[in-house]
């Protein structure tokens, strides 16, 4: 096995929207890096993971990188094709593409002696890096529910949905109530012979626009959460009405406790009679599906719009501290017990990815430089000063940006606190770990 030593370089895994922003910040901060992607082009999910007809949910204003505006003629909600073109032009504008090694899949990342990181690639070569920035995305490890019985018709996950050809003239059942479920059910309503949508529990449904403006980019002055929740509920009452009107269960969670579904098109198809709302699936009976209310429907095709799991399949188990969909890291990316490893992009902020990852990637560059000056992990400094661990993958965009700006201003203070910790610790080194192979779930796909 050939092994290259790149002890001064960091490796950025992934060239999706997050990996690209990190690469740009590192380049500007003159932090030596390598970047790899398992795919053969930039853009991540927008290159390989969305269906042709997908449009963004948040608005262009919050989705774009603040330092690279989307073209003037882009609509408020660009299509997946426009998003891909935008990420490709970002990568070439900032000369990022030329340094990306494509078709290069990372299979193992291990902490080794001397605080270095050994990275193994799918072609069985290894390289040793000073640090690793993981930007592998959170929309690839498919989640499937378990049901009694066997379904003998056609079935696929929303990740494999590409066009209406897969649904045309079929009796389709879409399972799920998130954004992909509502998007695919809307498409199915137009082309299928019969369209069922199985909704297990109530979700908050938002319109894409309010008073003609994209909801995600509405400027709301800083107000307490209870007031924000109250105002949103009034707005939803006026625009959408009661869930009962559509045969949908009432949500039990607070408005911002779960990811809202941003789609009113499906509600219209319910009113047109083109989409029939069903409750939870009870069991499969060949090509029939029985629901919890005892009703049975003939179904040709099931679309599992049942979400994704957050995972880092190339990390040793000990470094995969994922709880539900959030990662137990300090400062949104770092462990307190390891230095040189940064897990970025698992968060799902309200708003869009570009407006957040740009300031965060700059902060990350500052953290990497800070790590050069102190011996203890930067995550440990944050822990010691009382930064909390996340309890959810959902965050308010404004809240995260405020934290980033505040933290960027106290880098000198963090350095002093780190040096103090160093003198108390009497030496710190990463504990080397072997990669312990974890059986991949059968449905898990690794890029």
Ligand X SMILES: Cc1cc2nc3c(=O)[nH]c(=O)nc-3n(C[C@H](O)[C@H](O)[C@H](O)COP(=O)(O)OP(=O)(O)OC[C@H]3O[C@@H](n4cnc5c(N)ncnc54)[C@H](O)[C@@H]3O)c2cc1C
Which residues contribute to the site for ligand X (CB under 6 A)? 13-19, 36-39, 44-45, 49-50, 54, 56-58, 63, 105-106, 135-137, 139, 314, 345, 352-353, 446-447
Residue with Cβ nearer ligand X (36 or 215): 36
- Nearest-approach distance from CB 45 to ligand X, in angstroms: 3
- Nearest-approach distance from CB 325 to ligand X, in angstroms: 13
Residue with Cβ nearer ligand X (217 or 239): 217
- Nearest-approach distance from CB 342 to ligand X, in angstroms: 13
| Chain centroid offset of residue 284 CA | 31
- Nearest-approach distance from CB 348 to ligand X, in angstroms: 8
- Nearest-approach distance from CB 295 to ligand X, in angstroms: 30
Residue with Cβ nearer ligand X (67 or 422): 67
Provide the 8-state DSSP code for 313. Answer: T
Residue 204 tokens, joined: 């908050």
Residue with Cβ nearer ligand X (44 or 260): 44
Segment (H or E) for 387: none
Ranges of beta strands (E only) in 216-339 are 261-262, 276-278, 281-286, 288-291, 296-298, 301-304, 308-309, 322-323, 326-327
User: Are 31 and 10 spatial neighbours (Cβ–Cβ below 8 Å)?
Assistant: yes
User: Are 141 and 163 spatial neighbours (Cβ–Cβ below 8 Å)?
Assistant: no
Provide CB contacts within 8 A for 353, sequence distance 6+.
17, 18, 63
- Nearest-approach distance from CB 114 to ligand X, in angstroms: 24
Q: Which residue has the tokens 């050939």?
A: 2
Residue with Cβ nearer ligand X (162 or 373): 162
Residue with Cβ nearer ligand X (37 or 118): 37
Q: What is the pairing mode between strands 116-121 and 126-134?
A: antiparallel
Instruction: Tally the residues of the chain.
Output: 447
């Amino acid at each position: 096995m050939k092994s290259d030593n790149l002890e001064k370089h960091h490796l950025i895994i992934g060239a999706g929207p997050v990996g690209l922003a990190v690469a740009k910040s590192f380049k500007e901060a003159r932090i030596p890096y390598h970047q790899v992607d398992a795919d053969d082009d930039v853009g991540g999910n927008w290159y390989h993971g969305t269906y042709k007809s997908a449009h963004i949910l948040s608005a262009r204003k919050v989705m774009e990188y603040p330092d690279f505006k989307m073209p003037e003629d882009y609509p408020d909600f660009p299509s997946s094709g426009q998003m891909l073109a935008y990420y490709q032009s970002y990568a070439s504008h900032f000369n990022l593409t030329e340094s990306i090694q494509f078709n290069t899949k990372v299979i193992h990342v291990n902490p080794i002696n001397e605080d270095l990181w050994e990275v193994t690639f799918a072609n069985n070569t290894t390289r040793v890096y000073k640090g690793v920035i993981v930007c592998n995305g959170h929309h690839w490890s498919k989640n499937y529910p378990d049901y009694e019985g066997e379904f003998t018709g056609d079935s696929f996950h929303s990740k494999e949905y590409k066009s209406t050809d897969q649904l045309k003239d079929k009796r389709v059942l879409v399972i799920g109530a998130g954004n992909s479920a509502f998007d695919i059910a809307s498409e199915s309503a137009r082309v299928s012979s019969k369209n069922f949508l199985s909704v297990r529990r109530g979700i908050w449904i938002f319109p894409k626009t309010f008073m003609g403006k994209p909801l995600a980019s509405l400027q709301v002055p800083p107000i307490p959460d209870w007031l924000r929740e109250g105002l949103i509920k009034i707005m939803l009452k006026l625009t959408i009405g009661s869930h009962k009107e559509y045969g949908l269960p009432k949500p039990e969670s607070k408005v911002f406790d779960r990811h809202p579904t941003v789609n009113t098109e499906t509600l219209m198809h319910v009113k047109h009679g083109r989409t029939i709302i069903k409750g939870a699936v009870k069991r499969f009976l060949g090509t029939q599906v029985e629901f919890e209310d005892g009703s049975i429907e003939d179904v040709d095709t099931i679309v599992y719009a049942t979400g994704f799991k957050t995972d880092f399949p190339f990390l040793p188990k000990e470094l995969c501290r994922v709880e539900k969909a959030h990662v137990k890291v300090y400062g949104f990316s770092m462990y307190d017990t390891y230095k040189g490893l940064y897990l970025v992009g698992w968060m799902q902020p309200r708003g869009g990815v570009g407006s957040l990852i740009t300031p965060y990637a700059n902060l990350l560059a500052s953290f990497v430089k800070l790590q050069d000056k102190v011996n203890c992990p930067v995550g440990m400094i944050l822990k010691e000063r009382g930064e909390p661990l996340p309890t959810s993958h959902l965050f308010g965009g404004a809240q995260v940006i405020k934290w980033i700006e505040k933290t960027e201003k106290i880098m000198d203070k963090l350095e002093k606190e780190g040096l103090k910790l160093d003198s108390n610790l009497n030496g710190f080194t990463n504990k080397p770990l072997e990669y312990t192979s974890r059986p991949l779930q059968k449905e898990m796909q690794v890029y």
